[in-house]
Amino acid sequence: MRCIHALALCGLLILLPAAVARAQQGPDYIDITGYLQTDAQYEAWFNLTRGLRRGFDEICGDTFCEGEYSNIQSLRYLCSVHRVSGRIGMCSWTFAASHEEIAPTNGRIGVERAFWQCRTPLPSGTTIEQLLAALGDEDEPLYAPLPGTQRTMMDGLIDCL
């Protein structure tokens, strides 16, 4: 019995350095801002996110913001990036809205909340460098073709909202 325990302990000790090394390396996927390295990359990312927000604000009233939710707001556009290869795991754009009603008998305000997580329709294997090259300098990134496809961010919003 002691022999089995000793073998099990030896096996764990052999695996321990690999587990510690893996933990020290960090996660496989990180927030894009943890991946960007140059000022040009940061500038392209911030231009992209500002352009998306501005573009959404310009079209909201004539498209998605008609009807029950007239106050849809862009909260954040975020991409997960493989920290070694730069491949995008996923990009998503988060939105929120509300619909309020006043109860006429007591004046209380009731709020119905809504949230959307809209996935960007990127082909598998797209790198963050490709995304920034395609959309980072665009005046209207909402309508620019995404890398490796003819789909746009607007197509993703239509599918989502």
Tally of domains in the chain: 1
> Letter for the amino acid at 62?
D
Report if residue 17 sits inside a domain.
no
Does 78 map to a domain?
yes
Single-letter residue type at 96: A
Residue 43 corresponds to which tokens in the numbers above? 């500038």
d(CA 37, CA 115): 32
Query: Tens digits of per-residue pLDDT, 98-133?
Result: 999 999 999 999 999 999 999 999 999 999 999 999
Question: Is 151 part of any domain?
Answer: yes
Does 13 have pLDDT greater than 90? no
Query: Which two tokens mark 84?
Result: 């070694």
State pLDDT tens for residues 56-87.
999 999 999 998 899 999 999 999 999 999 99
* pLDDT for 12: 45
Q: What is the mean pLDDT of the chain?
A: 90
Find out whether 136 and 130 touch, Cβ atoms under 8 Å.
no
For residue 107, give the amino acid letter. Answer: G
Supply the range of the domain harboring residue 75: 27-160
Q: Give the model's pLDDT for residue 19.
A: 47
pTM for the model stands at 0.81
